[in-house]
Structure 1
Amino acid sequence: MVKVKICGTTNLPDALHAAEAGADALGFIFAPVSKRRVTAQVAREVGLSVGPSVARVGVFMGQPLDEVLRTAEAARCSAVQLHGPLPGVYVEAVAAYYPVLRVLGPEDLRTGNVQAVPGVTLMLDAPQPGSGQPLDWSALVPHFPPGGWLAGGLGPENVARAVATLRPGGVDAVSKLEASPGIKNPQAVKAFVDAVKHA
């Protein structure tokens, strides 16, 4: 069964609706550049209110290692998602404490710039995460890692096709599920989860 992560969660009503719709994980963005950024306190309160059956993924982009670990602990994250060019020792250090989703771009896969690390699952995303731009899934079939996750321009209208093409272990969506940045469209969230579960 393909896992579903609803990323860019900023408030409790959206989190509760995503959980009720059947999401397996919520993403809380801590990257300073994001318009969906939340504090560790907000992520902790929202995540714990949803209950233990839904994973709480902290999303980071190039922050110092100690900040990532400190924030993930304060937010009570159950996993960490890492964006940006990062040395292997950094990724391994995070993976010593949390399951890691390591985000790569299409070029990383094509060039074989992928290092297997225990406790780390690879996630393919668009070059500009959160842009809503889908990838050319068919071109990536030869390079897509078994069990890898898929993000980048996914929404209710195209996720079933993406799942059928790449057979990912999980999918992740943000922008196509929003009424405005950081605020989810409940109908789109439910339609997205339903499309994945029936793909």
Structure 2
Amino acid sequence: MQVKVCGTTSVRDAVLSAEAGADALGFIFAPVSKRLVTPRVAREAGLSVGPSVARVGVFLDQGLDEVLRTAEAARVSAVQLHGHVSGLYVTAVAAYYPVLRVVRPADLAAQADMWHGHPSVTLMLDAPEPGGGIPLDWDALRPLFPHGAWLAGGLGAGNVAAAMTALRPAGVDAVSRLEAGPGMKDPAAVRAFVQETRRAAQSYPQ
């Protein structure tokens, strides 16, 4: 079970998330995001937590050269792809980095078929408006949710257990409900989210 804290914008927040037990940090490089971070800051924040914590670069409909150049400059260990990108594009990125391919509920079945068995591409189900804090209808999505996929979309300490019970994701990702303000983590919310995720994961079949 993997826990990712996304929207990391500082060394302070990277360290507090790692100390809380997060397995991965997300650094958003999409220009439209209010949590936009520079490659330099992402690199410094990633180096502050050491190699045991994954560093994920988050992109939205950006060119392949830009993604690879930014990922290298930031020293990320994986790439998260949002938006309307082709299978060839995803495959090209996956030749260099493990990929979290983010999909909306309407696209879940088709994308699950496309990437089933790919060694470097993992699906992440997110809300239609990523980072908006609005949860998905987990029960309705249960028949479609593929084994091994990750879950995002309005998750926090108060609802992550219910989401995990419904869908059994391999990883969870949270942003807005872990913040004191855009781009600034709330230490208590981060700790509670990680703790609730770990507790819920104990009920997974062994």
Q: TM-score range by the shorter chain?
A: over 0.9
The question of whether the paired residues in 2 share the 8 Å contact of 1:95 and 1:118 is answered with: no
Map 1:1-199; keep pairs closer than 5 Å: 2-110=1-109, 112-114=110-112, 115-116=114-115, 117-199=118-200
Cα offset, 1:48, TM superposition: 0.7
Q: Which runs of 4+ in 1 moved over 4 A?
A: none
The question of whether the paired residues in 2 share the 8 Å contact of 1:22 and 1:193 is answered with: yes
CA distance in 1, matches of 2:21, 2:111: 34
Cα RMSD over matched residues? 0.8
The question of whether the paired residues in 2 share the 8 Å contact of 1:141 and 1:166 is answered with: yes
Number of equivalenced pairs: 197
Helix, strand or coil at the partner of 1:26? strand
CA distance in 2, matches of 1:49, 1:13: 9
- The one-letter code sitting in structure 2 at the alignment partner of 1:134 is P
CA distance in 2, matches of 1:145, 1:97: 24
Q: Structure 2: any 5+ residue segments left out of the alignment?
A: 201-206
The question of whether the paired residues in 1 share the 8 Å contact of 2:103 and 2:111 is answered with: no
CA distance in 2, matches of 1:118, 1:164: 26
- TM-score, normalising length from structure 2? 0.94
The question of whether the paired residues in 1 share the 8 Å contact of 2:4 and 2:26 is answered with: yes
CA distance in 1, matches of 2:71, 2:181: 26
Cα offset, 1:118, TM superposition: 3.5
Residues 31-51 of structure 1: per-residue CA shift (max 9 Å, x gap): 010000000000001101110
Q: Structure 1: any 5+ residue segments left out of the alignment?
A: none
